[in-house]
């Protein structure tokens, strides 16, 4: 049920005004790509049955009637289906990109021309254009925001305080964004409730692990066509993403080395059968380096100095700060050469060639298509249901970072296994009684 009586109407909404062609506000690369984009969005939709069910219910119940949502996310076929679900629920949605290299231009075109969703995203846009697009999304004066990495929330609190007062809450998609939000909340800077969608089991246990695991390797193959069998892959960070990447690389026949700073994660990697060592040692051994730490300066000058000729460098962490590209460029004796799409070759003074993929940005989104739709089905079902919850039960929350209610997480898991044809047991009354008592012993 939506009740907008107390939602502030700060600004006249510019995205209400279609242009001469009847299209919503937009800045996309080429509207002629819309038909191709639609066909790819439909293809993703086939693998997203949970989100589809939610979209159908939203279309019937219209929980977001009169609500404006601004989303800053990777503009892919999967997020397009999330935008469709929110729009079906009555929301007026404006989308901008959360990364300059992850935008699928055909998807962006289809969102505008086929689905009437205001969209600001062009693949390869420069830094100024990237932030101008976030600004354009915020011009819609949103009631709720969806973020992936916290850039939009950051801009709201620094440069766009004119629309800050109208925001009632939002959802954050990724680990790095949640970390930034918690820092904002601890500093007393966060001005509205944000829900850490990343932290649901149905998101990070599957999206971060299986999604990043598969799509990161997919991107490395598309960019280099390299063979992993018999090669040494160094995975920096053994969190949810790192575990997925390491296990997939192992499955393809690579010898996997893990680097970590957390003793428990290092132990986990060791007991999963991987070699664990510092980057200073791994740098000499690796053929392929994959960073997924969410931290900066993981692969540095001293590591480049000892790497093998032909070493491949890829990052799947949220920002392009994990591989020290400035140091790599300083070590190079020539201007880097684009030897294949998404692959830049840096030649060092002794003739060794190091291959940087996707300019050090999220490789799985920049050099491939991001996670498969089947896994984003759960992440975006979480997002859609969390937004509905925020707009109803969550409306009295004070500023801070909140967990998604467990009931939503379990609902998404239940719906997903049902769509996969999986049945599970239910507790018997005796089991319920046993689990809630303390008297039973040996």
Find the residue with minimal CB distance to ligand NAD.
Answer: 239
Q: How far is the CB of 368 from ligand NAD (least distance, A)?
A: 10
Q: Phi and psi dihedrals of 165, rounded to 5?
A: -65, -20
Q: Is 396 annotated as a binding residue?
A: no
Closest distance to ligand NAD from the beta carbon of 198 (Å): 7
Least Å distance between CB 113 and ligand NAD? Answer: 27
Q: Is 174 annotated as a binding residue?
A: yes
Residue 173 phi/psi, 5-degree rounding, is: -90, -35
Is there a binding annotation on residue 188? no
Q: Toward ligand NAD, which CB reaches closer, 15 or 316? A: 316
> The tokens of 63 are what?
């929980």
Residues of 225-234 as b/e, b for ≥16 C-beta within 10 angstroms? Answer: eeebeebbbb
The dihedral over CA atoms of 181, 182, 184, 189, expressed in degrees to the nearest 10, equals 110
List the beta bridge partners of residue 101: none
Smallest separation (angstroms) from ligand NAD to the CB of 211: 6
CB of 48 to ligand NAD, least distance (A): 17
User: Please, what is the angle between helix 373-391 and helix 34-46, to 10°?
Assistant: 90
Measured distance between the N- and C-terminal CA atoms of the chain, rounded to whole angstroms: 50
Find the DSSP H helices in 160-239.
Answer: 161-164, 175-186, 201-203, 212-224
Nearer to ligand NAD, 169 or 237 (CB): 237
CB of 101 to ligand NAD, least distance (A): 12
- Tell me: is residue 170 an annotated ligand-binding position: no
Bridge partners of residue 94, in order along the sequence: 70, 118
334 token code pair: 């020539």
In whole angstroms, give the CA distance from residue 375 to residue 37. 20
Of 317 and 336, which CB lies nearer to ligand NAD in the complex structure? 317
φ/ψ (deg, to 5) at 316: -120, 10
212 vs 284: CA distance, rounded Å: 25
**Smallest gap, in angstroms, from Cβ of residue 260 to ligand NAD?**
5
Element of type H or E holding 248:
helix 240-251
Where does this chain bind ligand NAD (CB under 6 A)?
Answer: 174-176, 204, 208, 212, 236-242, 259-262, 265, 292-295, 298, 316-318, 362, 364
Cβ distance to ligand NAD smaller for residue 141 or 292: 292
Determine whether the annotation assigns residue 208 to a binding site: yes
- Is 303 annotated as belonging to a binding site? no
Q: Which residues contact 214 (CB under 8 A, 6 or more apart)?
A: 244, 248, 371, 372
**Residue among 262 and 309 whose Cβ is closer to ligand NAD:** 262
63 versus 177: smaller Cβ distance to ligand NAD: 177
Is 237 within any annotated ligand binding site? yes
Q: Is 126 annotated as a binding residue?
A: no
37 is in an annotated binding site: no
Nearer to ligand NAD, 289 or 346 (CB): 289
Q: Which parts are annotated binding residues?
A: 76, 148, 173-176, 203, 207-208, 237-244, 260, 295, 316-318, 364, 371
Q: Which parts are annotated binding residues for NAD(+)?
A: 174-176, 208, 237-244, 260, 295, 316-318, 364, 371
Q: Which parts are annotated binding residues for substrate?
A: 76, 148, 173, 203, 207
């Amino acid at each position: 049920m939506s009740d907008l009586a107390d939602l502030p109407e700060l600004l006249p909404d510019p995205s209400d005004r279609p242009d001469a062609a009847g299209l919503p506000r937009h800045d996309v690369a080429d509207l002629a790509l819309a038909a191709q984009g639609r066909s790819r969005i439909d293809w993703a939709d086939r693998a997203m049955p949970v989100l589809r069910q939610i979209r159908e219910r939203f279309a019937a119940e219209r929980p977001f009637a009169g609500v404006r949502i601004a989303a800053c996310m990777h503009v892919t076929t999967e997020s397009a289906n999330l935008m469709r679900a929110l729009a079906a629920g009555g929301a007026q949605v404006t989308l901008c990109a959360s990364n300059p290299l992850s935008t699928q231009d055909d998807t962006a075109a289809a969102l505008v021309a086929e689905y009437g969703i205001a969209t600001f995203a062009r693949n390869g846009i420069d830094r100024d254009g990237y932030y101008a697009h976030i600004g354009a999304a915020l011009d819609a004066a949103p009631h709720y925001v969806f973020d992936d990495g916290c850039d939009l929330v950051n801009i709201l609190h620094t440069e766009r305080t004119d629309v800050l007062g109208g925001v009632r809450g939002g959802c954050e998609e990724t680990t790095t964004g949640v970390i930034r939000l918690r820092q904002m909340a601890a500093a007393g800077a966060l001005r509205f409730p944000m829900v850490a969608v990343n932290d649901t089991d149905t998101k990070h246990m599957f999206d971060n692990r299986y999604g990043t695991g598969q799509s990161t390797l997919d991107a490395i193959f598309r960019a280099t066509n390299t063979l992993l069998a018999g090669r040494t892959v160094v995975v920096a960070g053994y969190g949810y993403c790192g575990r997925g990447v390491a296990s997939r690389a192992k499955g393809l026949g690579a010898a996997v080395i893990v680097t970590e700073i957390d003793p428990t994660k290092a132990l986990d990697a060791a007991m999963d059968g991987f070699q664990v060592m510092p980057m200073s040692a791994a740098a000499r051994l690796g053929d392929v380096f994959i960073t997924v730490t969410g931290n900066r300066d993981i692969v540095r000058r001293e590591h480049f100095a000892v790497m093998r000729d032909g070493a491949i460098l890829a990052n799947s962490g949220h920002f392009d700060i994990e591989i020290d590209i400035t140091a790599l460029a300083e070590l190079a004796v020539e201007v880097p050469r684009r030897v294949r799409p998404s692959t830049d070759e840096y030649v060092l003074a002794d003739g060794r060639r190091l291959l940087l993929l996707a300019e050090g940005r999220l490789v799985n989104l920049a050099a491939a298509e991001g996670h498969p739709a089947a896994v984003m089905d759960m992440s975006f079902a979480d997002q859609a249901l969390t937004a509905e919850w925020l707009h109803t039960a969550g409306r009295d929350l004070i500023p801070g970072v909140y967990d998604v209610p467990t009931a939503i997480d379990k609902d998404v898991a239940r719906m997903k296994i049902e769509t996969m044809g999986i049945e599970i047991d239910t507790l018997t009354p005796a089991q319920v009684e046993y689990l809630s008592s303390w008297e039973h012993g040996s």
